[in-house]
Structure 1
C-alpha cells in the first residue's frame, strides 16, 4: 500500500473506484416499457384521427345540442304538438312520409341528384334548409343574390308569415318566374323562396343562419321556423351524413395498394432490428460512479489562470476587487483583526496604527473601482505602499530596503520574507 500526496492510500482509491453498482436495473426496463407504450398509444391516436370521418351531420341536426345544431327548433315543434321524426338513412325516408308530412333537410352532399329529387317527389311539403346553388338548380327556385341585406319583413301574401315579424337573413336569393319570394329587400331579393305551382310545395331558406341553437332566439327566427315546419302535424327531418351515400365509383388507389407486398414486412423487420439493437447496446450504459482522483492543482496555477482571464477580458474593476481583497486579508492578519472583518474596519485599524486620521484609507480599501488600466496600476502601487507602511509601523526595527541600492535589496527582502513567514 502506497500513500498519495493528499494522504490517502491506493487501497482506499481502489475501494472508491470499485464501488458496487446499484441494484436498480429494473428501472431501465420500466423506462423502455414506458417509451414503448407511448409509441403504441401515439400510433393508435394518429390512426384514430386519420380513419375517423368528419362529423358533417352536426350542422342543423335536430338532436344536436351544440351551437350549430337544431335541437331547440325540434323541441319547439314538439311543444306545439307536432311529431318530429329524425331519419338518418335516405332509404327510410319514404317509409315515414304520409299524406300530411313535411320533409325537412339540408343539402345532402353524399346523395346523387336523382336520389334527392326522388325524396322530394314523395313528400307533399318540403323545406330545404340549405340555400346551396345545387338545391336552387335542382328545383329551379332561382339564383343566389349578390350582397348582404339588413332586417326584412314578410312582404308577401302567404298567411303563415303574417306574424313572423323581422328577421336578419344571411343569404338572399333572386326568385325564378314560378317562385314566390318572401322577406324581400329593396332589390326584390328574397330570404325565403316558396314554389307551390304544382301539387307539391317546396320552400327554401338558409337555415344555417336562422335556425341553429345559438341564433334561434334572435328576431323572428323561431316564428319563421314554426311557419315553415309547423303547417302539418308531422315533420320528417332527414339528416345527411357521409356514411349514408348512394354515390358509387371506383376506389382510388392508395399507397398501400401500389407498393409490393414485401415492403410492409421489411419495414416491420427493420423496426424490430432497430429495437433489438437499442436494447443490446443500451445494456452497456450504467449509472455514473463518483470517483475522487488524486490530482493536486497548485494555487499559483489557479492564480495565474485567473489573472490571464482578467487581463484578456480587460476587466479592471474585477482585477481591482481581487487586489483589494488580498490586501485587506493580509492587513487583517497582520493587525490581528480576524478573518471576518470588513474593509472599513481594516482601514480604521490601519489608520490608527499609522497615526493618521480615521477615514483617510476608506476610499483606498473600499472605494469605487478603477475605470481603466492606468488607474488599476496606480491603485496597486498605493496598496503595496500601504502594506509596506503597516509593516514598518508594526516592526520598526526592520529597515525598509532602498530600491536604488541593489547591494542591500536582496538581503532586506529576504529578511522581510522570513519575518512575514
Structure 2
C-alpha cells in the first residue's frame, strides 16, 4: 500500500492541485459574479437593484419584474411605468417600437443605439463624464429634487432636432447630459439615464442617486421592471452559423476529415499474421514465471510473491519427505523439522508465518526457503559423492 502511494504521489499531488484550483475558482466566481442579471430587482449583489425595489415597495409602489417582451407589453397597457435595462442589447428597433407604442412612461437605464433611435431621435451617446456632472439645471421634478449625481455617469447629447421636439437635458457636463427627458414619437414620456449608477445597490446611496431613481420610478403606483432576455431577440435577424464562420474553416475541416481517414487506413493495415507461429503458441515456463515476478515487483505484492515460492517449496518438501497428498502444512513443518533438526517454530515461520516488509527481507526469505529445501534433501537423500561400492564409505 505504501509503495503504491509512493508511486502514485505525483498524480495525487496533481489531482489535489486541480481540486484546490477548482474550489478557488468557484469561490472567486461566487464572490465576483452577481447571482442575477445586472439591475435585477431581486438581486442583492453590488450590481443589482434590490435596494431601490424595496424602497419603492415601502412607498406603496408595486414592482413587478418581467423577463419577456409579451409580459412587459401586457403590464405597460395597464398604465404602469416601464423601467428597461437591456444590458445584453437583444431588443431590436421593432420590439422597442412595440413597447413605446403601448407605454405611457418609459425609463431607460444606459440606452443603446437602437433605443435612442426609436425613443429619442437626435439623442446620441457621448462617452463618460470625468468626475461628477453638474447640478440638475432642468425642469424634471425628480432631477431637481436629486440636485447632483455621483461619479461614473455616462453622457448623452441632444441635437437641434431633438431639442426642437421637446427633449431636455439634466446634470450637464460639457456638451452632454447625464439624464435626458422628453416625449417619444409614439407619445410616451421617456427618461434616458446614461449610466446604471443611480439604480445599482453599490452606488444608489451616493449624492442624489437615490432621489433621482425613486423620483423617476415612484411617480406611478406600478412599475414594470423589464430586463430583456435572450428569448426576446429576433431569431430571423440573427446571423447564421455560415455567416459567422470564416471562409477558411470549411476547407480546413475537409482536409482534417481526409487526413483522419488516411491515418486510419495507414495505421489500421496488417502486414501478415499477428503471430507467425502456429497456434497454440508454446510459452516457456521460465518466461511465465519471470513475467509474473515482474508484475509482483511492479505492484509491490511481496506477500503474494513469497507465498508462491512457499507453495512450490512445500510441494517439493512433501514429495521428498514421502508425505501423502492429503498432508497439510503442519505435517510438512513437523517432518522437515525432524529431518533437519531445526526447531519446528522456525520452520513454520519460514514456510507460513513470516511476512516480508521490504524487498531485502523478501530476498532473505527466498534464500532461507532454498536453504531449508537443500537441508531436507541432504538429510533424506543419499550423498551422491559417496561411493556405494566402497565399504569404508570414502568419497570418490
TM-score normalised by the chain length of structure 2: 0.51
Within a 5 Å distance, the mapping from 1:379-394 to structure 2 comes to: none
Secondary structure of 2:190's counterpart equals: strand
Question: Which residue of structure 2 lines up, in the alignment, with residue 158 of structure 1?
Answer: 140
Q: Offset at 1:158?
A: 2.9
Deviates more, 1:93-102 or 1:61-70: 93-102
Secondary structure of 2:146's counterpart equals: coil
Aligned partner of 1:73 among 42, 52, 55? 52
Question: Which residue of structure 1 lines up, in the alignment, with residue 335 of structure 2?
Answer: none
8 Å CA contact 1:61–1:70 kept in 2: the answer is: yes
- Count of residues in correspondence between the two structures: 252
Question: Which residue of structure 1 lines up, in the alignment, with residue 197 of structure 2?
Answer: 209
Q: Offset at 1:232?
A: 1.1
Secondary structure of 1:117's counterpart equals: helix
- From the superposition, tell whether residues 29 and 97 of structure 1 become closer, same or farther in structure 2 (CA, over 3 Å): farther
Whether 2:178 is the aligned partner of 1:191: answer: yes
Whether 2:83 is the aligned partner of 1:97: answer: no
Whether 2:103 is the aligned partner of 1:123: answer: yes
Distance in structure 1 (CA, Å) of the matches to 2:259 and 2:3: 38
Secondary structure of 1:172's counterpart equals: strand
Q: Offset at 1:194?
A: 1.0
Deviates more, 1:61-70 or 1:87-96: 87-96
Distance in structure 1 (CA, Å) of the matches to 2:14 and 2:207: 57
- From the superposition, tell whether residues 225 and 26 of structure 1 become closer, same or farther in structure 2 (CA, over 3 Å): same
- From the superposition, tell whether residues 91 and 261 of structure 1 become closer, same or farther in structure 2 (CA, over 3 Å): farther
Question: Which residue of structure 1 lines up, in the alignment, with residue 221 of structure 2?
Answer: 233
Question: Which residue of structure 2 lines up, in the alignment, with residue 178 of structure 1?
Answer: 165
Aligned partner of 2:359 among 249, 273, 289? 289
Question: Which residue of structure 2 lines up, in the alignment, with residue 58 of structure 1?
Answer: 37
Secondary structure of 1:224's counterpart equals: helix
Q: Offset at 1:238?
A: 1.1
RMSD: 4.8
- From the superposition, tell whether residues 70 and 282 of structure 1 become closer, same or farther in structure 2 (CA, over 3 Å): farther
Q: Offset at 1:154?
A: 2.3
Distance in structure 2 (CA, Å) of the matches to 1:220 and 1:100: 27
Within a 5 Å distance, the mapping from 1:346-361 to structure 2 comes to: none
Distance in structure 2 (CA, Å) of the matches to 1:31 and 1:232: 67
Distance in structure 2 (CA, Å) of the matches to 1:182 and 1:233: 26
Question: Which residue of structure 2 lines up, in the alignment, with residue 137 of structure 1?
Answer: 117
8 Å CA contact 1:88–1:240 kept in 2: the answer is: yes
Secondary structure of 1:137's counterpart equals: helix
- From the superposition, tell whether residues 289 and 281 of structure 1 become closer, same or farther in structure 2 (CA, over 3 Å): closer
Secondary structure of 2:116's counterpart equals: helix
Q: Offset at 1:135?
A: 2.6
- From the superposition, tell whether residues 36 and 172 of structure 1 become closer, same or farther in structure 2 (CA, over 3 Å): closer
- From the superposition, tell whether residues 118 and 285 of structure 1 become closer, same or farther in structure 2 (CA, over 3 Å): farther
Q: Offset at 1:75?
A: 0.9
Distance in structure 2 (CA, Å) of the matches to 1:261 and 1:102: 60
Q: Offset at 1:188?
A: 5.0
Secondary structure of 1:135's counterpart equals: helix
Within a 5 Å distance, the mapping from 1:22-37 to structure 2 comes to: none
8 Å CA contact 1:84–1:234 kept in 2: the answer is: yes
Deviates more, 1:70-79 or 1:174-183: 174-183
Secondary structure of 1:144's counterpart equals: strand
Q: Offset at 1:225?
A: 0.5
Whether 2:250 is the aligned partner of 1:250: answer: no
8 Å CA contact 1:181–1:191 kept in 2: the answer is: no
Q: Offset at 1:123?
A: 1.4
Question: Which residue of structure 2 lines up, in the alignment, with residue 110 of structure 1?
Answer: 90
Secondary structure of 1:104's counterpart equals: strand
- From the superposition, tell whether residues 244 and 28 of structure 1 become closer, same or farther in structure 2 (CA, over 3 Å): farther
Q: Offset at 1:220?
A: 0.9
Question: Which residue of structure 2 lines up, in the alignment, with residue 4 of structure 1?
Answer: none
